[in-house]
Structure 1
Amino acid sequence: MCLSSRRVVIVEDEILIAEALRLRLERMGCEVVGTVDSGEEALNLVANTTPDLVLMDIRLAGPMDGITAGEHIHSRFGLPVVYLTANSDPETIERVISSQPYGYISKPIDDATLRSTLSIAFQKSELERTYRRRERHYLSMLAKLESAVFVLDAAGRVCFLNPAAMTLTGIEAGNPDNFLVHEVLSFVNEAGERLDPVGQCLTLRQEVILDHVWCQTRAGKRVHVQVDVIPIPEEPAAESGSDKLDVVLLLHALPLTSLQTGLPEFIRVCAYCRDIMERDASGQTVTVRFETYFRRMCNYQFTHGICPNCRSAFFKSKKPASSPGGADEA
């Protein structure tokens, strides 16, 4: 990869080494936008110069070492950091690795190692920027979808959900992975039978589509949806030889004008007893109670009470009649 016009900050507390690095980088076509000897100065310089990469010595002047400064620079500015050090003890190497560096060069430094390490660091940084740009694009698209979108891991834990899914479930953005999908959503068909589309997808390892399903949420909402569960396999794990599997769960709310819940266009009701009439398997007309019919069709449960009008009429009819003389009868 060409290093021409790449802007680099050097953080090195030894003046001679810093100057030698500057000359080497300029010969390679890089632009050195500044040289400092402490982590605090590095943060200020990066904020004011917006370089493409930071070449960071691990041992620096001042209270902040290079690894700490590099972690701050990467988290705040998203810049690649390549570390330099003469120390290759296990503790230092472990700290460098845990900071997820873009490169690590041991002193003394030769030109070939410096050039190849910087080239790899720039390439990795550009790939990550492309990924983040695409991720922002996809997230903005998901945010505009009316369908609820959930991403679940192989255990059924919620890893991501879009705004429509947040509204549906009542889960706020932040820590969605505290929830298992069966804790926030349940599914039943029109006959009231429980369904497990996510478990079915994980077992079969293939897409599952269920149409006209009732979705009950922990927030108390009940919606009629089409359910799509799409598996997303990862690369096989080298140590186990098995695939990990995430799934995307999509809930498409069905518009009221096109609901097909198994109910006929017109429900036949007896004009006298108010029971619902339907045909059995033999074609004979039978009647069922309102509660029984809708519990079977929609999985609703019913309780009974007395409405205010009926209560008033009932107690009015129970009042004792007054005698003609005005006194109540004994």
Structure 2
Amino acid sequence: MIGWDRRIGQTLDTGRTLDERSGEIFRRIVETYLQNGEPLGSRNLSRLLPMSLSPASVRNVMSDLEELGLIYSPHISAGRLPTQLGLRFFVDAFMQVGDLSPEERTSIEAQMRSAERGPQADNLLSEASRMLSGMSRGAGLVVTTKNDPVLRHVEFVRLGPTKALAVLVGEHDEVENRIIELPAGTTSSQLTEAANFLNAHVSGYTLAEIRNQTEVIRKTIQTELDTLSQDLVERGLAVWSGTSELDQTSRLIVRGQSNLIEGLDDQADIDRLRMLFDDLERKESLIDLLNLAETGPGVRIFIGSENKLFSLSGSSLIVAPYRDSEQKIVGAVGVIGPTRLNYARIVPMVDYTAQLISKLSSPG
């Protein structure tokens, strides 16, 4: 059983509580909205309630709920819809999330294990994103970090009198080539000497560790190398002192964007969706997504503007971290969709998928 199990009588930030009657009316309004997106009026509400209440009495309660900021009327003579505050209160105080059925677990695991056997390393993560999209009818996403690679070998290959190729090879044969400018008069033997120095002093370290030792390395080269070779080593260090392809911090896999477009006919909604897609393209958004996943254990729910990443688009995000064999958070998996996502159903889905990725992507 996952969290989110709360009881009626939960206290609002205002210090007020909802009694059983108010809580039941509020719950029905929210559940109707989550199911079909439609406002619920007092007459229909009175027929749904387990207690006997006239439409007039229901309207009085609805007025109180509106005063608390939990519901609102989209237009005159309409029923009521939950506000963003109301959705958050519902999720925290009323929503009860169970677990996936054995059949659902079996189906998810079968799809993930099938992808795990594929020829590409990304298959598992791509399948997780695709599967979550299909099951949630939202957009499934996976944010992944590449492990900081251990540098195995450095080599300089001359391209001309004043240019060389700096070749960096990681422990898993990741290769990055960068062109560097050569100091005037550089000889082939000095290129070899500089590469040998770097291999002796940085091989076996991660790029982050190398960056932390840059000053120590610089002091060493002053005593061991001539001026031109020192300059070459400095240029080699500069290759990975900034952002390196071997050291990309995060990458995004999104499937099912088309699900978010279905049923949209209002231009404002389409514009908000375009904002969401623009947000997803920004690199800093990926880092922020990981930060969101890391700030709390298990699954986290962000509704509308609570999520600074997608606040303009008014989207909701359900996200959970996944971990490597050392229990270090290395990525996040989740679902993005409209605020009327089926939170109770998607939370265990995201949670189990994150657990499976942690299990299947870790050796042993």
What is the TM-score when the length of structure 2 is the normalising length?
0.22
Structure (1/2) with the larger strand percentage: 1
Q: Of the two, which has the highest radius of gyration?
A: 1
Give the alignment's TM-score, normalised by structure 1.
0.24
Q: Report which structure shows greater RCO (CA 8 Å, sep ≥6).
A: 2
